[in-house]
Amino acid sequence: AQSVAQPEDQVNVAEGNPLTVKCTYSVSGNPYLFWYVQYPNRGLQFLLKYITGDNLVKGSYGFEAEFNKSQTSFHLKKPSALVSDSALYFCALIGNAGNMLTFGGGTRLMVKP
């Protein structure tokens, strides 16, 4: 069975500071990892994905994520947070079941001015 864990329900960061949203995974075989963001009363918006290649993946709105196979992690990062980054973030995994996404529980990011 495959799973995704987001250990923090909420992350608080001051505007201008770097942010990290954590994600760990469990899967047999190669993982294919995604980050999505959801603003209030909206659908999910794709940020970035790791399929293969460079462990550092760059995505939309200045976000990036680092794939670490030995730690089975795929943490989302941004060098300088904006208040507008405040939203719900989901890490997701495609394992061995075709294009079916397994989601983590979500992390609410709060960026304060």
Partner 1 sequence: DTEVTQTPKHLVMGMTNKKSLKCEQHMGHRAMYWYKQKAKKPPELMFVYSYEKLSINESVPSRFSPECPNSSLLNLHLHALQPEDSALYLCASSQEGGESGGFYEQYFGPGTRLTVT
Query: Least distance to partner 1 from the beta carbon of 49, Å?
Result: 6
Nearest-CA neighbor of 87 among 106, 60, 104?
A: 106
Alpha-carbon distance of 8 to 1, in angstroms, equals 22
Which pair of structure tokens corresponds to residue 81? 């947070």
Radius of gyration of the chain (CA): 13
Listed residue (108, 105, 113, 110) closest to 3, CA to CA? 105
Closest to partner 1 by CB, 81 vs 94, is: 94
Q: Which is nearer to partner 1, 15 or 88 (CB)?
A: 88
14 or 58: CB nearest partner 1:
58
Q: Which residues contact 56 (CB under 8 A, 6 or more apart)?
A: 64, 65, 66, 67
Least distance in Å: CB of 54 to partner 1? 16
Using CB under 8 A, list all residues that contact partner 1. Answer: 32, 34, 36, 41-46, 49, 51, 88, 90, 94, 98-101, 103-106, 108
Least distance from partner 1 to the Cβ atom of residue 8, Å: 14
State the nearest-atom distance from the C-beta of 10 to partner 1, in Å: 10
